Every structure is written in C-alpha cells, then in structure tokens.
Amino acid sequence: MANERTFSIIKPDATRRNLTGKINAVFEGAGLRIVAQKRIWMSREMAKTFYAVHAERPFYNDLVDFMCSGPVVVQVLEGENAVAKNRELMGATNPANAAEGTIRKLFAESIEANSVHGSDSPENAAIEIAYFFAGCEIVG
Ligand code: ATP
Ligand code: MG
C-alpha cells in the first residue's frame, strides 16, 4: 500500500490527563509521521457535525458533550497503510475489548472516553482532514 494519510484526534480525556506525548510516541514508534497538528476546543456544532454519522445512536448527545468538554489535538498521520495502521494502534472502541499494547488498552477510561479517534477509511480520512486543515497546514 502506498503512502497514505489519516486523521487522528487525541480526545479530551487524554489531553486532561496530559497524555498527548505518550500517545504520539506510539504513532511515531510505529512509523507514522505527524504531518499536521493543532490543539483546539471543539464547539458543539463542530462535534455534532464530526460525529453526524452517529446522530441516531443513543450515545450521540453524550458523545457530543464529551468531545467539547475540553481541548483536543487534531492531527494528520502519514505513512504506509496509515488508515489501517492507526486503527490497529488505537485498538477496539471499548477498551475492555482492546488488545494488549494498543492505545485504548493502555489509556482509555471507558467506551466513550476512549482517548483517540481515527478515520475508518481513506475516503473518510480525506473528508475529515479537509474539515480541520487547510492544505498549507499539512507539511509532509
Ligand atoms: P472513533 O470514530 O472515535 O475513531 P470508533 O470508530 O472506534 O471510534 P465508533 O463506532 O465510530 O467507534 O464510535 C464513535 C465514538 O463514539 C467512539 O469512539 C466512542 O467515543 C463513542 N461510542 C461508541 N459506542 C459507544 C457506546 N456504546 N456508548 C458510549 N459511547 C460510544
Ligand atoms: Mg468511528
């Protein structure tokens, strides 16, 4: 698989516990490069738009509240097979089911406060990257 980009968020539970560096060390240690990065506080509208795909799910309102409960770090990761590699490094959505050594197993607090987001396909990665970053902010 050619060089690829994916979108990553370090969620409020992780920034609150000062885990940005520890989480990014996992990405960098696995060969992913951080080619864009910024710390932002999402508005409710941004969080609602970002997770709109889950709008009908019972956890949606709580998820939106959580995502704007503190700062997040939004970033673009680049590397071979970056979308799948990031998902593998993150581990299962529910930390109780996450494999040993994954970010969610190491750091997540709960199925909601699970420390990281990662795009689930190259198509969604392109959409999510364009939502948060201008082309000139991504420096490979
Ligand atoms: P993400 O999209 O954040 O990378 P994911 O793809 O592993 O995570 P999704 O099914 O897309 O999981 O869910 C999006 C987010 O919604 C999860 O990361 C988690 O924060 C929250 N979430 C998912 N399922 C539940 C649930 N049953 N209860 C509470 N929150 C949930
Ligand atoms: Mg998802």
Which residue ranges of the chain lie beneath pLDDT 50?
Answer: none
Ligand 1 centre to CA of 139 (Å) is 29
Q: Which atom of ligand 1 is nearest to the CA of 120?
A: 6
CA 42 to the chain's CA centroid: 13
CA distance 28 to 3: 15
List phi, psi (to 5°) of 139. Answer: -125, 105
pLDDT in tens, 88-103: 999 999 999 999 999 9
Instruction: Check residue 2 and give its pLDDT.
Output: 65
Give the per-residue pLDDT at 35.
98
Query: Residue type at 9?
Result: I
State which of 114, 128, 131 you would mutate to test the pocket of ligand 1, scoring each by most atoms of that ligand within 8 A of its C-beta: 114
Chain segment 100-126, per-residue pLDDT in tens: 999 999 999 999 999 999 999 999 999
